[in-house]
């Protein structure tokens, strides 16, 4: 069955790229609502923005949604990952600014609030997107692919010149609370050499050493170091969960990413939905539902989240 929150949860923070303070309230929503963002600071235009792949624009380094009136919400991937990873299908996300708060650079704060608040099952059947045949996009040595699988699986490879990251690979089946335990506390990261470039392009203005992992060659510059030795690839997997949640329904399939990012995952979803022979919508059987992210999440899992 579909699920929503038992009550509203709230967050205060700043936008990673804008640097602007923002308040975010995540409300329960009725069955079939899906996930929508509402810009409460916008009063002279349509301020409702649907969390759907077709609304994603070309902003670099994050996923930004824009409606037909040009009203946008950026850096949605971490809250989308938290909702999907905790099995929340219907929610209204209200913000008083243009960007989701970055918190400490991952989904941990969102996940903790969702799990502690709890999910409420709803009297509506849950449908999932079953991948029927492989779909692949490739670009400049990077690749993203969806292939058939019984549940959501994520397989990711990254490679960076800084030895603090280097080559990393991880593959996970996302059932039974895996997202909460294994991915939710892995923070966004960047190379120190890229910070000036991002600032010159109006990005990462709210970034600090406390809400991102900054690496320089062999060194991790952020206080406390890494939460996981392979935190970088775990964060890329977190992002993929959030970007795939913009499909509009849970995915039954295996996502493989090689040096992939937000834009490539979005292109992959667009290619999937452009070919109806590659997927079908299916009502989830109890067996299928048991293989989705969010099923099996327990409050005890929060002890493993930084």
SS3 54: helix
Return the pLDDT at 52. Answer: 98
- Do residue 297 and residue 235 come from a single domain? yes
Residue 240 reports pLDDT greater than 80: yes
Read off the CATH number of the domain in which 66 is found.
Answer: 3.30.230.20
- Do residue 104 and residue 13 come from a single domain? yes
Indicate the DSSP class of residue 188: P
Give per-residue pLDDT as tens, 97-125. Answer: 999 999 999 999 999 999 999 999 999 99
Residue 66: CB partners within 8 Å, gap ≥ 6?
49, 55, 57, 72
- Do residue 16 and residue 155 come from a single domain? no
Q: How many angstroms separate the CA atoms of 222 and 224, rounded?
A: 6
Q: How many angstroms separate the CA atoms of 100 and 78, rounded?
A: 8
pLDDT band at 60 (very low <50, low <70, confident <90, very high): low
Q: Could you tell me if 76 and 245 are in contact, meaning their C-beta atoms sit under 8 angstroms apart?
A: no
Q: Please list, residue by residue across 141-162, b when 16 or more beta carbons sit within 10 angstroms of its beta carbon and e when fewer do.
A: ebbbbbbebebbbbbbbbeeeb
Return the pLDDT at 273. Answer: 98
Residue 207 reports pLDDT greater than 90: no
- Do residue 33 and residue 99 come from a single domain? yes
- Do residue 168 and residue 217 come from a single domain? yes
DSSP string, 152-180: EEEEEEEE-SSTTT-EEEEEEE-TTTHII
Residue the block writes with tokens 């989308």: 80
Q: Count CB-CB contacts under 10 A for residue 283.
A: 10
- Do residue 94 and residue 167 come from a single domain? no
Q: Could you tell me if 5 and 120 are in contact, meaning their C-beta atoms sit under 8 angstroms apart?
A: yes
Give per-residue pLDDT as tens, 262-275. Answer: 999 999 999 999 99
Give binding residues as ranges: 78, 235, 239
- Do residue 252 and residue 194 come from a single domain? yes
Q: Could you tell me if 191 and 220 are in contact, meaning their C-beta atoms sit under 8 angstroms apart?
A: no
Q: What's the average model confidence in pLDDT over 284-299?
A: 88
- Do residue 113 and residue 157 come from a single domain? no
- β-strand pairing of 251-258 with 152-159: parallel
Give binding residues for Zn(2+) as ranges: 78, 235, 239
Q: How far is CA 217 from the centre of its chain?
A: 27
Return the pLDDT at 306. Answer: 74
Residue 72: CB partners within 8 Å, gap ≥ 6?
49, 57, 64, 65, 66, 98
Q: Which residue has the higher pLDDT, 200 or 287?
A: 287
Indicate the DSSP class of residue 223: T
Return the pLDDT at 50. Answer: 98
Which residue, of 103, 121, 139, is where some domain finishes? 121
Q: Which residue has the higher pLDDT, 281 or 304?
A: 281
Q: What's the average model confidence in pLDDT over 129-138?
A: 98
Q: What's the average model confidence in pLDDT over 6-35?
A: 95
301 burial via Cβ count (<10 Å: 0-12, 13-18, 19+): buried
- Do residue 109 and residue 131 come from a single domain? no
Long-range Cβ contact pairs of 65-71 (< 8 A, separation 24 or more): 65/37, 65/246, 69/45, 70/45, 71/39, 71/42, 71/45, 71/46, 71/47
- Do residue 101 and residue 144 come from a single domain? no
Question: Tokens for 80?
Answer: 């989308």
Which residue, of 89, 121, 153, is where some domain finishes? 121
Mean pLDDT for the chain overall:
93
Q: What's the average model confidence in pLDDT over 273-297?
A: 92
Return the pLDDT at 95. Answer: 97
- Do residue 133 and residue 254 come from a single domain? yes
Return the pLDDT at 128. Answer: 96
pLDDT band at 192 (very low <50, low <70, confident <90, very high): confident
Read off the CATH number of the domain in which 261 is found.
Answer: 3.30.1700.10
List 143's β-bridge partners, or say none: 138, 258
Which residue, of 121, 143, 175, is where some domain finishes? 121
Q: What's the average model confidence in pLDDT over 267-289?
A: 95
Return the pLDDT at 137. Answer: 98
Q: How many angstroms separate the CA atoms of 38 and 264, rounded?
A: 26
pLDDT band at 286 (very low <50, low <70, confident <90, very high): confident
Per the structure, the complete domain to which residue 58 belongs is given by 3-121
> 199 catalytic, yes or no?
no
pLDDT band at 59 (very low <50, low <70, confident <90, very high): low
Catalytic residue among 17, 89, 157, 262: 262
Q: How many domains does the chain have?
A: 2
Residue 133: CB partners within 8 Å, gap ≥ 6?
148, 277, 278
- Do residue 86 and residue 144 come from a single domain? no
């Amino acid at each position: 069955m579909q699920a929503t929150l038992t009550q509203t949860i709230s967050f205060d923070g700043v936008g990673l790229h804008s640097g602007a303070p923002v308040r975010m309230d995540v409300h329960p929503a009725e069955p079939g609502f899906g996930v929508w963002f509402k810009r409460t600071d916008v009063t002279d235009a349509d301020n409702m923005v649907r969390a759907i792949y077709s609304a994603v624009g070309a902003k670099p380094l994050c996923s930004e949604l824009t409606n037909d009136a040009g009203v946008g919400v950026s850096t949605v991937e971490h809250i989308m990952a938290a909702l999907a990873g905790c099995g929340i299908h219907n929610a209204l996300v209200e913000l008083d600014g243009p960007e989701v708060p970055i918190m400490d650079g991952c989904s941990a704060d969102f996940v903790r609030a969702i799990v502690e608040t709890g999910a409420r099952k709803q009297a509506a059947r849950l449908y999932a997107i079953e991948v029927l045949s492989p779909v692949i996009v490739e670009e400049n040595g990077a690749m993203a692919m969806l292939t058939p699988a019984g549940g959501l699986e994520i397989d990711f490879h990254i490679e960076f010149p800084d030895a603090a990251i280097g080559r990393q690979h991880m593959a996970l089946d996302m059932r039974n609370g895996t997202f909460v335990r294994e991915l939710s506390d892995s923070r966004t990261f960047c190379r120190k050499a890229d910070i000036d470039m991002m600032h010159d392009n109006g990005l990462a203005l709210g970034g600090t050493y406390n809400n991102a992992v900054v690496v320089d060659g062999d060194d991790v510059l952020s206080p406390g170091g890494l939460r996981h030795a392979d935190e970088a690839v775990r964060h890329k997997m977190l992002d993929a969960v959030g970007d795939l949640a913009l499909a509009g329904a849970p995915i039954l399939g295996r996502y493989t990413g090689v040096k992939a990012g937000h834009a490539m995952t979005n292109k992959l979803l667009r290619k999937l939905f452009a070919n109806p022979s590659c997927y079908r919508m299916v009502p989830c059987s109890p067996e299928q539902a048991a293989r989705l992210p969010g099923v099996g999440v327990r409050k005890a899992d929060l002890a493993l989240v930084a």
